[in-house]
Structure 1
Amino acid sequence: MLVTARLKRAAELLIPHSVRARREEERLRERALAKEERRLARVAQRRAALLESDPGLRSYTVEGAERIGRVVRDYTAAGAADRNLDLVLRALDHAGIDHFVVPGRSPQRHVLGVHRSRRKDLLEAMRELHGDSPLYAVAPGPDGKAAKASAYVDGALDTEVKSGLVIRFAELLLSEHEDEFGGFDHGCDVEFWREATKVLAGDRAEHALDRLRVKIPVGAMDGALLGPRPNRIADVLTTDARTPATLTVRGRELPTFEPFSHRHPEDVGFPVDVVYTWVDGADPAHAAKRARHRGEVVDLATHAANSSRYTDHEELRYSLRSLRMYAPFVRHIYLVTDAQVPSWLDTDAPGLTVVDHRDIFTVPDALPVFSSRAIETQLHHIEGLSEHYLYLNDDVFFAKQVGAEYFFHSNGIVRLPFSSHQIGVGAPIAEEVSPNWAGKNARALLMEDFGATIAQKVRHAPLPQLRRVHRELEERYREDIERTARSRFRHPDDIAPATTLHQYYALFSGQGVRGKYRTRYIDIGTEQARENLAELGLDAPFDFLCLNDFDTPPERQEEVAEMLRDYLERRFPFPSPFERVDVLIGEDDPSRTEVAA
């Protein structure tokens, strides 16, 4: 046996060095591969055990990578961020680690600051409390997106993640369809702040100083804490600035430092309400009333009163869901109707008021009207409505978390949602789309008063409104406002008080500036609508969707309604507090269709 081993070693010495090196490399690679296979097997066992222990968890795949998330029956983007904040706060309190709120640069997540020396303690506390859970630790990239994620259930965290100066902690939240709503973007970021003296004594001191947004003399940094990245106030906290303070975060008091405890100049501090207009054209009483008055109009354009304009696909149900999911700043919702209420709506729900046309029309003999243009002339008369509000049609949906700052500057100036589409020139043409009519009529009024022409339409989005602008319009263009208010159906002589006229008047009068809106409009009655909807996933780069039924042929209405409902139920699956629990989707309740006169 000894001789055989010697002969083998001798034979190996005769093999060329390059061959021996290659074989050794192959052996090392095989060992590494075997080691990785054993690790993956352990990971698979841990994940399987976790999934078996908690029926609320699901395994799913994103871009080829397996993830584990928790199925939830209720979801808001702000709530997802709060949930992850709670997970981190529990660990910080458990380990007795001092921490402070940092004014982060994204509204999607919370940020906490911790001394760099306590990073290991925090990681150990997170492991102790959440090691057998679907919690992830994430290394954020420069754009704030997840650069690398490591699941606690898999064992040791990735070195790049756990050694970072910023670690994001997140539990992923899924709908019952296993779509990921609460992703890594809503995790809680923990920044590890370092002593300036230690940073300045290091080899990369010059690089660290260059990255700071706050520039102060080096001599003034004695005792200061340095943040690992910019925030909204300061990434340098000198000793004298570290006066303890508290900050109310989503209804709870959290520790911070005095410079971080104030409202920022960009933050909107005034209330913002939402106004919806809604109609159920299938209601027999409303349809009969509409048909009766339609016979009185002789010059009605074919699209001015088509059935699609009054068809209800329960879009309002899903628009309210989207508002609750993504617009936590809204104070109150007003639903304006013509003696109707959706059968599924809980009219007693806090935060919601149903308003009848009769309650707001200052020209009551104009009623009934079946034109949104006419209704828009009166919305600012709603009792209790905030000075700044959003006007929505029920086919407009929030698709990403936004704040009031998306629509208004903190000084009250409106961010105007102009479109790239144009009104056109010349006089209104009978069969052109009605926004062209209203835009051309508004142009004539504004040209006379401001000496400038207008060209662009307004986007299909939540439309920011100022009550004082509407009061000015009502006073300045009284004849045009009253004529439009008396227009039962859309007419080429109408103006559009909430869209073209309001937005451009605000611009010309110094009460508004151009804003940036990311919107997607789809006419659901077109042949390509199904394909277009399929492209509107949760990661689509739009903040608002408009799914408009412009003129669906009667023979396709059932098909289109089913397509739209399937999409909306998957995109906005979480019932809002405004829905009655005893009325299912698509179910009618005749007792709730009409509001008693």
Structure 2
Amino acid sequence: MYRKVLPVQGRKAIARRFSPAQRRRVKQRIGAASAALQAVQMRSSAFTATHRAVIARSGATVVTAEGRLRLALPQPQLSPETARRANLAFVTEALSGAGIDYFCIRRQDRSATAVAVSQADRSAALLALSARCGSHPGYLTASAESGRVLAGSRSASWQRFSHADVVRVFAYHTDPGRQLVLGAEHGCDIEFWAAEGDRLTAPRRNSIAESVPAVAGAVEVPVETFTARYGTRDRALLTVRTREEFTTVLPRDVTFPVDAVYTWVDGSDPAWLERRSRFSGATYHAEAANAARYADHDELRYSLRSLDMYAPWIRTIYIVTDDQTPAWLDTSAPGIKVVSHRDIFSDPGVLPTFNSHAIESQLHHIDGLSEHFLYFNDDVFLGSETAPGDFFVANGLTRFFPSPALVPLGPLSADDVPVAAAGKNNRTLIQQRFGTTPVAKMRHMPHALSRSVLDEIETEFAEQHATTASHRFRSSDDIAIPSSLYHYHAFHTRRAVPGDLRYVYRDVAHPHTPSQLDRLLRDRDKDVFCLNDTTSDEADFARSDRLIRTFLEAYFPVASRFERAR
């Protein structure tokens, strides 16, 4: 809407004079004003009487999606999975209410659900769904990518699909603040299967079967079987009907539990600052004790929001801290645990520590941690929906994500920054053990790890492991285990393979970062992104803090279940 209201030259003039945060607020106000005006126009138009009835019956609100006015259902815990669940429930309840037989199927595309109905029941099914749209803000389309969206409240919309093999039915869903809108991409496809002899044949490919017996027993399964088939912490009581074939576990399905681990520090905590001052002193490189390493911009809050929205299959989240707990974190919430350094260090005598390499070396000692887990820094965020298979192979192998950035060749130097020094030390170990020369760094991604491999590293490289754990600050002879050494060791021992996800890294201190974050917010086209800050000093904190918080609140407007009520 901002681009429609203002010409290019006007936008350029505003960009030169105002900060990205100020421009974002202007855009939000323009969008809100436009939506309000459209809502007034909608309410005053005679042809929207049906829309007004749907709003009154469903509690829908007016949003703008694809540049058009739409009705959307507010969801306090909005996520792709909750949107899928609501859309599947709407379709299956309409079919069941009309006495129409159906069965849910597994699609190859995980973002949407699908229901199979006999072609003989197509007219009755469309009629039942059309009737339900008198009190539900339903829409229909041929596809989520390019199909024209039609209002389900109009009978003419359904007539367009009277001979279609597939129709996608969905509602728009939004958060209470109407900042995020989810639509057709999480809808429910109704496939009309053709009767051929004693079998029903699918109109397109799915994950399990091209045809099934026309007459067979049905089974009732939890709705999450199709809306969150990798697992979810938010269980629903709803069940749906399917055939036994579509409950099959495939070789590619990841069935083992996956946990997540964060390391976190509140660098403004007076008690922590006092401990740090007692042990600080000369460090081998200025970056090793840079205040930016410990600055807290509330990234953890928003990284947890990204997991809650885009990875509901995570079983338990562990927050590893120096006896610190964020004031906003609800530690009584199911699925989250705060772990002290004292509980994981083999030698508590090396504590307190302010060295992330040392802390990372002990993560596999967390009591109750699953064999397979993801390790997050709090400045890493999921930008879109993910699945366990993005990080693990179903047979237990982990995936790693090499970076185009390189570890400098040559011996260790006093001028090496900590990440380069650790990379060179890792490389030496891999060269000695396997005869290859790693040069690639790893992306700032969630690191997929297994406890057994980490145990093996601790044993095989015992001297270097213990030395790293003993350093209170980053040192030139540290090794970086979960972010690099693990991946090369696991790859050479045939327990890890390269992966590929849409990713972007943004340095908060870079002058182009504000405009790049604007584009990231607009497009939402990355699976993972990292907002890193290693060079800012205390004087830059206010600017960095404002930039990071404004962007993250806009990207993740829905509070996670791990936050205390405000």
TM-score (norm 1): 0.82
Task: From 548, 553, 561, give the equivalent of 1:577.
Answer: 561
Separation (CA, whole Å) in 2 of partners of 1:154 and 1:433: 64
User: Is structure 2 residue 52 aligned with structure 1 residue 57?
Assistant: no
Separation (CA, whole Å) in 1 of partners of 2:469 and 2:187: 49
Query: What residue in structure 2 maps to residue 30 of structure 1?
Result: none
Name which of structure 1's ranges 255-264 and 334-343 shifts more when overlaid on structure 2: 255-264
Query: What residue in structure 2 maps to residue 550 of structure 1?
Result: 534
CA contact (8 A) 1:245 1:261 kept: no
Q: Measured at CA, do residues 456 and 260 of structure 1 come closer, stay the same or move farther in structure 2, by a change above 3 Å?
A: same
Query: What residue in structure 2 maps to residue 427 of structure 1?
Result: 411
Residues 459-481 of structure 1 deviation map (CA, whole Å, 9 limit, x = unaligned): 11111001011011000000000
User: Is structure 2 residue 136 aligned with structure 1 residue 133?
Assistant: yes
Query: What residue in structure 2 maps to residue 478 of structure 1?
Result: 462
Residues 338-383 of structure 1 deviation map (CA, whole Å, 9 limit, x = unaligned): 0111011111111111110000000111111111111011000000
Name which of structure 1's ranges 436-445 and 147-156 shifts more when overlaid on structure 2: 147-156
CA contact (8 A) 2:260 2:314 kept: yes
User: Is structure 2 residue 157 aligned with structure 1 residue 173?
Assistant: no
Q: Secondary structure at the match of 2:260?
A: strand
Query: What residue in structure 2 maps to residue 199 of structure 1?
Result: none
Tell me which amino acid in the other structure corresponds to 1:287: L
Unmatched tracts of structure 2, length 5 or more: 1-43, 225-234
CA contact (8 A) 1:150 1:161 kept: no
Q: Measured at CA, do residues 248 and 47 of structure 1 come closer, stay the same or move farther in structure 2, by a change above 3 Å?
A: closer
Residues 98-143 of structure 1 deviation map (CA, whole Å, 9 limit, x = unaligned): 1112111122222111101112111111122222432111211xxx
Separation (CA, whole Å) in 1 of partners of 2:439 and 2:159: 56
Name which of structure 1's ranges 556-565 and 266-275 shifts more when overlaid on structure 2: 556-565
Aligned ranges for residues 170-249 of structure 1 at < 5 Å?
Answer: 170-196=170-196, 222-238=197-213, 242=216, 244-249=218-223
CA RMSD of aligned residues (A): 2.1
Name which of structure 1's ranges 499-508 and 109-118 shifts more when overlaid on structure 2: 109-118
Separation (CA, whole Å) in 1 of partners of 2:533 and 2:177: 26
User: Is structure 2 residue 460 aligned with structure 1 residue 457?
Assistant: no
Separation (CA, whole Å) in 2 of partners of 1:152 and 1:367: 63
Separation (CA, whole Å) in 1 of partners of 2:56 and 2:223: 35
Query: What residue in structure 1 maps to residue 100 of structure 2?
Result: 97
Task: From 422, 426, 448, give the equivalent of 2:432.
Answer: 448
Aligned ranges for residues 279-294 of structure 1 at < 5 Å?
Answer: 279-294=265-280
Tell me which amino acid in the other structure corresponds to 1:393: N
Task: From 371, 392, 398, give the equivalent of 1:408.
Answer: 392
Q: Measured at CA, do residues 533 and 290 of structure 1 come closer, stay the same or move farther in structure 2, by a change above 3 Å?
A: same
Tell me which amino acid in the other structure corresponds to 1:359: D
Query: What residue in structure 2 maps to residue 268 of structure 1?
Result: 254
Query: What residue in structure 1 maps to residue 164 of structure 2?
Result: 164
Task: From 264, 278, 282, give the equivalent of 2:264.
Answer: 278
Q: Secondary structure at the match of 1:133?
A: coil
Q: Secondary structure at the match of 1:510?
A: coil
Give the superposition deviation at 1:161: 4.2
Give the superposition deviation at 1:164: 2.0
Aligned ranges for residues 325-404 of structure 1 at < 5 Å?
Answer: 325-404=309-388
Q: Measured at CA, do residues 126 and 281 of structure 1 come closer, stay the same or move farther in structure 2, by a change above 3 Å?
A: same
Q: Measured at CA, do residues 91 and 436 of structure 1 come closer, stay the same or move farther in structure 2, by a change above 3 Å?
A: same
Separation (CA, whole Å) in 2 of partners of 1:255 and 1:538: 38
Query: What residue in structure 2 maps to residue 206 of structure 1?
Result: none
Name which of structure 1's ranges 432-441 and 478-487 shifts more when overlaid on structure 2: 432-441
CA contact (8 A) 2:60 2:71 kept: no
Give the superposition deviation at 1:580: 1.2
Larger Rg, first or second structure (1 or 2): 1
Name which of structure 1's ranges 390-399 and 521-530 shifts more when overlaid on structure 2: 521-530
CA contact (8 A) 1:70 1:172 kept: yes
Q: Secondary structure at the match of 1:303?
A: helix
Residues 24-75 of structure 1 deviation map (CA, whole Å, 9 limit, x = unaligned): xxxxxxxxxxxxxxxx97645544565577664013142x333222233221
CA contact (8 A) 1:177 1:570 kept: no
Name which of structure 1's ranges 95-104 and 169-178 shifts more when overlaid on structure 2: 169-178
Separation (CA, whole Å) in 2 of partners of 1:86 and 1:259: 21
Tell me which amino acid in the other structure corresponds to 1:426: G
Task: From 486, 489, 499, give the equivalent of 1:515.
Answer: 499
Name which of structure 1's ranges 387-396 and 539-548 shifts more when overlaid on structure 2: 539-548
Residues 164-186 of structure 1 deviation map (CA, whole Å, 9 limit, x = unaligned): 21111111112344334422111
Give the superposition deviation at 1:159: 4.9
Q: Secondary structure at the match of 2:287?
A: coil
CA contact (8 A) 1:132 1:152 kept: no
Q: Measured at CA, do residues 458 and 85 of structure 1 come closer, stay the same or move farther in structure 2, by a change above 3 Å?
A: same
Query: What residue in structure 2 maps to residue 115 of structure 1?
Result: 118
Give the superposition deviation at 1:162: 4.8
Separation (CA, whole Å) in 2 of partners of 1:433 and 1:50: 61
Give the superposition deviation at 1:541: 2.0
CA contact (8 A) 2:259 2:370 kept: yes
Give the superposition deviation at 1:574: 1.2
Aligned ranges for residues 314-333 of structure 1 at < 5 Å?
Answer: 314-333=298-317
Give the superposition deviation at 1:556: 2.9
Give the superposition deviation at 1:257: 2.3
Separation (CA, whole Å) in 2 of partners of 1:115 and 1:302: 69
CA contact (8 A) 1:346 1:580 kept: yes
Separation (CA, whole Å) in 1 of partners of 2:372 and 2:381: 19
Residues 523-580 of structure 1 deviation map (CA, whole Å, 9 limit, x = unaligned): 1222222111101126432111211122224333212212211111121111112111
Q: Secondary structure at the match of 2:399?
A: strand
Separation (CA, whole Å) in 1 of partners of 2:177 and 2:523: 16
Residues 203-251 of structure 1 deviation map (CA, whole Å, 9 limit, x = unaligned): xxxxxxxxxxxxxxxxxxx3221111111112222559x5544444316
Separation (CA, whole Å) in 2 of partners of 1:527 and 1:515: 31
Tell me which amino acid in the other structure corresponds to 2:76: R
Residues 367-403 of structure 1 deviation map (CA, whole Å, 9 limit, x = unaligned): 1111111101100000000000000011111111111
CA contact (8 A) 1:302 1:431 kept: no
Name which of structure 1's ranges 570-579 and 174-183 shifts more when overlaid on structure 2: 174-183
Separation (CA, whole Å) in 2 of partners of 1:414 and 1:256: 32
CA contact (8 A) 1:525 1:551 kept: yes
CA contact (8 A) 2:170 2:186 kept: yes
Tell me which amino acid in the other structure corresponds to 1:577: R
Give the superposition deviation at 1:443: 0.9
Separation (CA, whole Å) in 2 of partners of 1:513 and 1:93: 45
Residues 394-427 of structure 1 deviation map (CA, whole Å, 9 limit, x = unaligned): 1111111111111111110111122222112012
TM-score (norm 2): 0.86
CA contact (8 A) 1:101 1:247 kept: no
Q: Measured at CA, do residues 61 and 78 of structure 1 come closer, stay the same or move farther in structure 2, by a change above 3 Å?
A: closer
Tell me which amino acid in the other structure corresponds to 1:256: T
